[in-house]
Structure 1
C-alpha cells in the first residue's frame, strides 16, 4: 500500500565549524563549504514527485520518489542509497504501518525524502543542531539509532498485550479475546515485514568501505541492526504465541461446546423414558391400569422420579457427569 500524499516541505541545515545554521533549500546544490548539509523533503509534491536538487542522479531520484519502497541499502559510486522504515508521527489508515524514509547519502551531504512525518526525525534534527553530525556516516547512524529507539517500545507493547491476553484466557469472553489476539498477530506480521529488512539494510551499510563511515559509525549501525534483529525475533515470537493462543481458544471453545452438548444429552436421556411413560398413559383408550384410583397421579409421578433417579445413577456410575 502506498503512503498518502501531503504538501511538500523542504528544510535544509548546514553544520560548519561547530555552528549549525538554516540553509535555503535552493542553495543546497550550490553549497561548496566544508560543512555537512542535510536537505529533507517531506510530502509528495505535484503528481507525487517533488523536485530534487540536480546533484541527485536520476536513478537515485527515482528510488527516492518511488511510490512503494522496502528497506534496502545500495552502494552507488561514492554514495549510498538507503531506505528504512520507522514509526510515523500520525497513524495513517490508508498507508503502511511504518513510514518510509529514503536517503541519498554522500560524505558531506545527505538528502532524505519522506511522504509522511517520521517520529525519529526530531531526534536526528536535535543531533544535527547540537553539532554532533559531521558527515553522512554520522547522519545514517543517528537516524538508525533514532528509528530503532522509537520502534522498540511499540514492539515490546505487543508482547505485553499478548501476555495480558494469555492471563485472561480462562476468564475473558472467548470471541472477544480471539479478536484481540488476531489483531495483535496482524500487527506483529505488519511490523516484521519491514523490521527484518531494516536490519539487513543497516548491516549492509556497516560493511561499506567509505572513509566517511567511521569506526564509531559502524558500531552504532551494528548496534541498531542488532536492535532490529531482536525486535524481529520478538515479533516472530508474538506471531507464534498468538497462533498457539488462538488454537488454545479454539480447543477451549470446543470443550465448552462438548460440555454443553453432554448436559443437553443427559437431560434429553432423562426425559426420554419419562416422555414414553406419560405418552403411553396419556392415550385416550380404555384399559389404562389404575386410571380411576385416587393415588394414580402421585403413583405415576413417583414412578417417573424413580426412573429419573435410575438414569442419573447410571450416568454417575459411568462418570459421565464429571467435567
Structure 2
C-alpha cells in the first residue's frame, strides 16, 4: 500500500507502529497517515466503511480550512506552511484530518514537517499518549511552524524600518514581497482560526479538561498569529507610504533646485541670446575688450540674482 505513509496504535502505551503492509486494517484507537494522491487509497477507505461523500471531501484537490461535525466524528481541514526545500513557506499546504468511529485519518499531498516531528517523537516513545492528545499535538506543531515563518518576516520588517530610506527602489521590492507573503498567510490562517474555534467548542464534549485547555491555548495562539499578521500588514503598508513620501520629497527638492538654477540663468541666457545676433549695429563689435566686459556684466548679474534670491529666502 504505497498510499499509507505511517500508522500507529494508541491502544497501547506508548503507542506502537503498525506494520505497513497489506494486512493493515482500520480499527478504533489508531492513526493512519496517507498520501492522498496515490492510486488505491479510495478503495482502502471504502473498505474501512467510510462514506463516499467524506472520502471525496478528504481527497478533493482544493480546500479551505474548516470544521464539520459528523454523526460518528468530525472533519477538520487545516493548512500548514510549506517548509520543503525550494518551496515558499507562504504557499500553505492542506492537511485533512478525519476522526471517524474513534479512528484518526490524516491526508497530505506534500511532506509536512509538523507531522514528521510527531512521528519522530512517537518513534522515540516521547509522542502523544492518545488520539485526543495526538490531535492537540498536531495543532500545536502546525502553529509552531507558522509562528517560525511569521517571526522571520517580522524580523525582516524591523530591519527595514531601521535601515531608513537610502535605497528606495530596492526597499520597495522587498516590501512588496513581504506584503504578498503576509497576504497569502492571512488568506488561510483567518479561516483556520474559525475552524479551530468550532473544533475547540465541539471538543469540550468528548475531550478531557486538561487537553481541552491545551487546545484552547493553541486556538489563542492562532488568534495571536493572525493579529501579528494584521499588525505587520499595517507596518508594511506604512513603510511603503513613507518610502513613497520620501521619493516625492526628493523629487520636489530636485525640481525646486532645477527651478532656482533655471531662474538664475534665464536673464543670462536672454542676454547671450541677444548679443549672439549676427547683424550690423551690435554694440562692442569694434571693441576688442567688449567680450571681457560682457562676461563681467553677466557675472555681476548672476551675483545680484543670487543675493536677491537669498534675501527672499528661496533656500
TM-score (norm 2): 0.89
Shift in CA distance, 92/79, structure 1 to aligned 2, threshold 3 Å: farther
CA deviation profile, 1:159-206 (whole Å, cap 9, x unmatched): 1111111122332x1111111001111111100111122222222112
CA deviation profile, 1:252-310 (whole Å, cap 9, x unmatched): 11111111111221222222111111111121122222332232112111111112122
Runs of 4+ in 1 over 6 A off after TM superposition: 47-50
Structure 2 residue aligned with 1:119: 113
Aligned residues: 311
Shift in CA distance, 57/27, structure 1 to aligned 2, threshold 3 Å: farther
> Which segment is superposed worse, 8-17 or 92-101?
92-101
CA deviation profile, 1:37-64 (whole Å, cap 9, x unmatched): 1110124124996853523221221111
Shift in CA distance, 243/198, structure 1 to aligned 2, threshold 3 Å: same
C-alpha contact (below 8 Å) 2:82/2:89 kept by paired residues: no
> Which segment is superposed worse, 47-56 or 99-108?
47-56
Shift in CA distance, 60/26, structure 1 to aligned 2, threshold 3 Å: farther
In 1: Cα distance, 2:290 partner to 2:36 partner:
91
Please give the secondary structure, in 2, of the residue aligned with 1:16: coil
In 2: Cα distance, 1:48 partner to 1:56 partner:
12
Structure 2 residue aligned with 1:233: 227
1:161 paired to 2:156: yes
Shift in CA distance, 282/49, structure 1 to aligned 2, threshold 3 Å: farther
Please give the secondary structure, in 2, of the residue aligned with 1:284: coil
Shift in CA distance, 124/178, structure 1 to aligned 2, threshold 3 Å: same
Structure 1 residue aligned with 2:133: 138
Q: What residue ranges of structure 1 are gaps of 5+ in the alignment?
A: 1-6
Please give the secondary structure, in 2, of the residue aligned with 1:80: strand
Structure 1 residue aligned with 2:143: 148
Q: RMSD over aligned Cα, in angstroms?
A: 2.5
1:103 paired to 2:97: yes
C-alpha contact (below 8 Å) 1:87/1:119 kept by paired residues: no
Q: Deviation of residue 245 (structure 1)?
A: 1.1
Structure 1 residue aligned with 2:38: 45
The structure 1 residue matched to 2:314, chosen from 311, 320, 323, is: 320
Structure 1 residue aligned with 2:20: 24
Please give the secondary structure, in 2, of the residue aligned with 1:104: strand
Structure 2 residue aligned with 1:291: 285
Shift in CA distance, 276/109, structure 1 to aligned 2, threshold 3 Å: same
